[in-house]
Structure 1
Amino acid sequence: MKSFLTFILLILLISCKNQKTNYIVYYNKVLIADSIMRFENDTIKSLKKYRKVFKKFEPKNDDRLNEFENFIILSDYYNKNFGGKKSLLKLVKLNGYNWETKKNDKKIIHLLEKYKVDSSDVNNVIKNWNKNLNKTLIDSFKIALKRDQEERPTNLKLVKKNVDKNARLLIWTFENYGFPSSDKIGWFPMPTFLTHMIESDKYPYFEKKLLEYVKSGECAPRDYAMMIDYNLLFVEKQNKTIYGFNGVEIIDSIQVNKNRKSIGLPGLIHNSKIRKDLKIKKSKQNLKNT
């Protein structure tokens, strides 16, 4: 009996280990923490939520939410534990693709100095991040980006030919390297590139495959949603939206909110608040720079 129970426990442990992490769960938990901060103005409660999420998931740092960065900055402000030097180096790595800009951020500089993260520590993280980039993919996607814009939108025949080439490159990348995320190719205008895949005959494949990468945390939900909605409007010529991205008037906001949540996007009101706060933040930064 004992050996049987041990066998069952082993099977359960292996099963749990093999389960893929679903980052849609992560995104929704992060959005709960973010909404507590924005709408309830309860930073301490929000930080507790964030801490639980980051214990279970490797953090992201969305360019609109900056969830891990805000968690660190606010935790330090309220004298709450955020992981100290280890978490700061993780934040540096998450910003590897734009570190040349980020390294001048006064708040980041202050935290690095306060927690004794010296320049050699930071340089090693960035050096290793750059070392792990895929040079072959970087070169391929640089060419693909030029090809994507070549004579667009005047020469439709050439545009279609180039989209097909880029679609083949993307499929080849998926099959050999997975999704071409920033930790593989650095900065890349992925939203634009993916939305142009609606012009490819392989679009049904991308619609299915990219959802897998949203779940794995490699493809941003926003990039996926834009592609889906743009396909509805420009290819299928349907005057409706699934996720609220194609500029069509939203009739059923309840359904759109459900759709957004299903892939880890903020609800429409929450999204509007995020955009408003970003606009205010940028205006304040511009005033400081003048």
Structure 2
Amino acid sequence: MKSYFNYFLILILLSLIIISCNTREKNYITYYNKVNEIDSIYRIAQRPKLAIKKFRKLFKEFPPKNQERIEEFENYIYLSDKYQENFGGKKNLYKFITLIAPYRNAYQEHLPLFKKYGIDSLEAAYKTDLWVRSREKVLMDSITTLFIRDQEGKRLDVNISARNDLKNAKLMKWIFDNYGYPSLQKVGIFGNDDVFLPMSTFFSHMSASQDYPYFEKKLKRYLEMGDCTPREYSTMVDRYHLQVLKDKMLYGSYIGIDGISDTIQVNKNRKSVGLPSLKHNNIITKDFLKKINKN
């Protein structure tokens, strides 16, 4: 009887351990670094099949992103299709359509692939429209107001910009409290009336705000949660170091402005927030520009 009781206790403990592992919050900086590692495997080392295998494992561990320029989920799908590997078929293509929905008609360039797996243009457009209509109205009204104010007078009048930055800092805090981070998947790249929403630009303006310590802490947390991107966080911090502290950049976000003397340290800093190395980033950027020019 005692042995059965001990066995029962062991089963309970194992169940609790499994539940704990499944519910523990994932740190997306780990995800971004793994994406960078896998990206270099096929982009630099030219080992696409190994990259596919590692991508598949990663996307089972983390819900995928499709970051600007590096486009990890898109590359996983296309590489898998090219080498006749299973990437999840329609299920993951639907997921991919939702990830690129913020770019509006971006699905159109992928229609040949979608049709190959039984998704026509009407269905892809419908899935995109579902995402558009899923956005919170009050959030969209608020974020649109914020960006209109952010760009008032093209920021040529320092006094007007300073006044607006104070108002926008307060509004962004309210957005954080009520909606969390206004990520690409929550708000997209265009607000009401096609107002452009460049989040990196806005937060770079917060680098001179008296609320910078608050935003630095909050964005770092949102980065770990997978809402804020490494680029959005690092751009704000680098601008603070350049313009407020009059110091060297930590992450090399503005390469054309300030020369980087210690690339080893900068690359360590970049990895700490999920950015690819400077050299790897240059290759990604060149490939991205080639893709744009080709299209």
Q: Does the pair score TM above 0.5?
A: yes
Alpha carbons 2:27, 2:226 under 8 Å: kept: yes
Match for 2:59: what amino acid?
Answer: F
Query: In the TM superposition, what is the alpha-carbon distance from 1:15 to its structure 2 partner?
Result: 2.7
Alignment match, 1:288: none
Residue 224 of structure 2: which of 215, 224, 231 is its match?
Answer: 215
1:245 aligns with 2:253: yes
Residue in structure 2 matched with residue 39 of structure 1 by the alignment: 44
Amino acid at match of 1:110: P
Q: Which amino acid aligns with 1:279?
A: L
Aligned-partner residue type, residue 271 of structure 1: N
DSSP-derived class of the 2:104 partner: helix
1:104 matches 2:112: no
Kindly indicate whether residue 91 of structure 2 is the aligned counterpart of residue 89 of structure 1.
no
Compute the displacement of 1:71 (Å). 1.1
Q: Which amino acid aligns with 2:269?
A: N
Does structure 1 retain, via aligned residues, the 8 Å contact 2:100–2:107?
no
The alignment's TM-score, normalised by the length of structure 1, stands at 0.91
In 2, Cα distance between equivalents of 1:243 and 1:42: 28
Change (3 A) 1:76 1:55: same
C-alpha distance 242-159 of structure 1, shift in aligned 2 (>3 A): same
| Corresponding position: 1:226 with 2:226 | no
Structure 2, gaps ≥5 residues long:
1-5, 190-196
Choose 208-217 or 271-280, whichever is displaced more.
271-280
Instruction: Give the alignment partner of residue 276 of structure 1, picking from 278, 281, 286.
Output: 286
Opposite residue 121 of structure 1, the aligned amino acid is: E
Letter in 2 for 1:242: L
Structure 1: state its 5+ residue gaps: 286-290
Counterpart in the other structure of 2:193: none
The reply on whether 1:148 has 2:153 as its aligned counterpart is no
Compared CA separation, residues 163 and 37, structure 1 to 2 (3 A): same
- Superimposed CA distance per residue, residues 39-68 of structure 1 (whole angstroms, 9 cap, x where no aligned partner): 111111111111111111111111201111
**1:266-285 deviation line (CA, Å, top 9, x unaligned):** 00111111112223333333
| Letter aligned with residue 253 of structure 2 | F
Contact 1:92 1:99 in 2 (8 A): no
CA RMSD of aligned residues (A): 1.6
* SS of equivalent to 2:155: coil
Tell me, what secondary structure is at the counterpart of 2:153?
A: coil
Deviation (angstroms), 1:126: 2.2
Following the alignment from structure 1 to structure 2, what is the Cα–Cα distance between the partners of residues 136 and 182?
Answer: 16
1:1-290 equivalent positions in 2, closer than 5 A: 1-100=6-105, 102-105=106-109, 108-187=110-189, 188-238=197-247, 240-246=248-254, 247-285=257-295
* Secondary structure at the counterpart of residue 159 of structure 1: helix
Q: TM-score, normalised by structure 2?
A: 0.90
- State the alpha-carbon separation in 2 of the partners of residues 86 and 139 from structure 1: 32
Residues 107 and 124, structure 2, Cα contact 8 Å, conserved in 1:
no
Contact 2:219 2:233 survives alignment (8 Å): yes
Q: Is the 8 A contact 1:160 1:199 kept in 2?
A: no
Alignment length, in residue pairs?
281
Is the 8 Å Cα contact of residues 108 and 121 (structure 2) preserved in structure 1?
A: no
CA distance in 2, matches of 1:153, 1:140: 20
Distance 2:86 2:130 in 1: 27
Indicate the percent of aligned positions where both proteins have the same amino acid. 44
Task: Write the deviation string for residues 230-277 of structure 1: whole angstroms up to 9, x where unpaired.
Answer: 000111111x11001133211211111111111110001111111122
Q: After superposition, what is the alpha-carbon deviation per residue over 1:6-52, rounded to whole angstroms, capped at 9, x for unaligned?
A: 44334423432431111111111111111011211111111111111
